Structure 1
Amino acid sequence: MNPTKKLLIIGFVWPEPNSSAAGGRMMQLISIFRENGFEITFASAAQDSDFMVDLSEFDVERKSIELNNSSFDNFIIELDPDVVLFDRFMIEEQFGWRVAENCPKALRLLDTEDLHCLRMARQKAFKENRTFELTDLLSEEVAKREIASILRCDLNYIISEFEMKVLKDVFKIDSGLLQYLPFLVEEITEKHLLKLPSFEDRQHFVFIGNFLHEPNWNTVQYLKEAIWPLIKKDLPEAVLEIYGAYPSQKVLQLHQPKNGFFIMGRAVDANEIIKKSRVVLAPIRFGAGLKGKLLEAMQCGTPSVTSTIGSEAMHENLPWNGFIEDTPDEFAKKAISLYQDENLWKQSQKKAIAIINECYSKDKYSEELINRVNSLLNDSETHRLHNFMGSLLQHHTLKSTKYMAKWIEAKNKNL
């Protein structure tokens, strides 16, 4: 009988699946590794939050760790994991060298969440009122850190096919270091739609998104200033409900009931809210990765109107379950049509079935994930031998990051 394999996940924060798509994504990964017999420990230096998931319910050991502290070395030596998963490149920067030094044989995986450099370069271009070009990435400071982190790892989970292309074409990353891994959900049929609230039983437009994420805040501003007035003009009784975790005071100040614009705050159950809404609005103007809110809308049978950025890499060549528009006028027109036309709404709703089953099948991608991990566990030495740039970066990182961390640790002890 094979011994149980150990997985250590090092998280930027404790998972909050009801607060963000990133939290939901992490729980999907935990589920897959658990189903395949891994013993899982989740470690984080983050503070506890009121909304973090109880990991013990998922048979996951929880461990609080400290940044720039050699206590982590003792912890990981004792745990002796077979696989270590970093949930953002910043976490690999902080702990990757310690893992490599203390558990050199452990497989190092990185879940990028999204390409931070892509999101930030797009945000910068947007704020400077210019067109984003892929070559912008080459001068993006965070790109140098992020790509170095990707190269140091044995395998990187990339959530978007567009980002796979960027990594290969722009940064020339070897495909052997990359694995495409979108959101993973169960397949559905038309019978699933019959169990959901009908067109007549739904009301209101809705947007949902974590407000710690800059693209979401920008989207709400855009809705308020440019799109909602156009919808409200044709549909005077219409209501738009804005949900999201961690709303700041500037978000709350947009609450304007007399104009049908409601800032609702955190959603206790996002699924229930989206199921009762008629149309999701998501005119996202910059960002990266996949949009969890739009996949959730598909699962809830709720058509959406989004932008080209919002739909990027989410539906392959399949028709969108609603509309993709980039100008306020057209966006508002399509939103009104979906809200009023029951036949159009039902047609759009059904398009989600093909997208979910073709693009996000848990069975398909989870099998590929585990097969790749097992393959690397069987021959990590050969894999690493062919990743010379990664070895080179690991060598220099061990020297530079290691001594910076030790200097910080020594400084902290003297405070």
Structure 2
Amino acid sequence: MQLKRVVVTGLGALTPIGNTLQEYWDGLVNGKSGAAPITYYDTEKHKTKFACEIKNFNVEDFIDKKEVRRMDKFAQYAIVASDEAIKDAGITLENVNKHRVGVIWGAGIGGLQTFQDEVMNYAAGDGTPRFNPFFIPKMIADIAPGHISMRNGFMGPNYTTVSACASSANALVDAFNYIRLGMCDVIVSGGSEAAVTIAGMGGFNSMQALSTRNESPETASRPFDATRDGFVLGEGAGALVLEEYEHAIARGAKIYCEVGGGGLSSDAYHLTAPHPEGIGVIAVMENCLRDAGMKPEDVDHINTHGTSTPLGDVAELKAIKAVFGDHAKNININSTKSMTGHLLGAAGAIEAIASILAMQNGIVPPTINHTTVDENIDPSLNLTLNKAQKREIKVAMSNTFGFGGHNACVLFKKFEN
């Protein structure tokens, strides 16, 4: 069977450093931090008092007020980002077969705010089970692609991938496979998350996973730095329109890049900690390269998972050294989580977008907030520290990993007709 070529024809982003694709890219290149004190609730008794929230955002500018009441924030974010990507791609029901357009979306948690609110309201009452009739359809993780499908009339495959922080990268790999196997012409893919809540922050704090640098939130996410003390929680959404090459050409679509390959693996090691030698990460990058038919020396840029945790950053860089050998020092490695924070199930999507825009613009966004060298990290690696770097990128790789040992890797290559 001859596999189809898959290209990216639309992008959309709603992030803590920019509410549109262009604002997001500008924030990345300029090393903008999205971290600030939390505004959603009183943090007085909380261990971590900051996060990377969406800013200057009014959802009713995008979605009807009546519909907003029926959606958790993670679904609202999905609508906004996907609307931008679909418009960017020029997809309409007039130029596609709606039965061959799908939506495959990622969410690690789903409607956490809705769940929290409904349970707390019940607990504060007299024990009578009074719940909002939209409680369940607002909360469930699969509802975001359902809304995107209904909003646009797309009738192809429609579901959510849930693999913790690897969820939206997982969704991209699934979308890529559906199209190259000839089962769809177009798939809107990506992910969204809205976990900056009392429950979300409290839960991650109890695991000692979050930074507690309350005196300086904007510098708290510091991947690869010796003084890193945990990740910074973020929220938002990223959307990509993946399309079969011939279909895109036939309708005269703008093409950002080609999807070269995708890889998946499992650590099979620990609930939350990565394997210290990065065994699963080695496997996922090797699987991705094999799927793309490429050699390690073909890769120019890697957007790492790079969460700013003591264990995870070192394990991932060890894995990169193991896979790429001496070529690793020639790769521009970065972590855009230093700016956006960790968007959990949406991380893979917004970081895939960052990788694609880096390739298109010939600029690798920086890993900001690096001040202290970690003796456990090979100094020969170019971690793109503190300042964006210009370079030609023909092949870019994006890594995303999740609790439970889930690993996903997506490879993009410069489009050649």
Question: Shorter-normalised TM-score: what interval?
Answer: under 0.3
Relative contact order, higher structure (CA 8 A, sep 6+): 2
The structure that is helix-richer by fraction is 1
**TM-score, normalized by length of structure 2?**
0.27
* Rg larger in structure: 1
**TM-score, normalized by length of structure 1?**
0.27
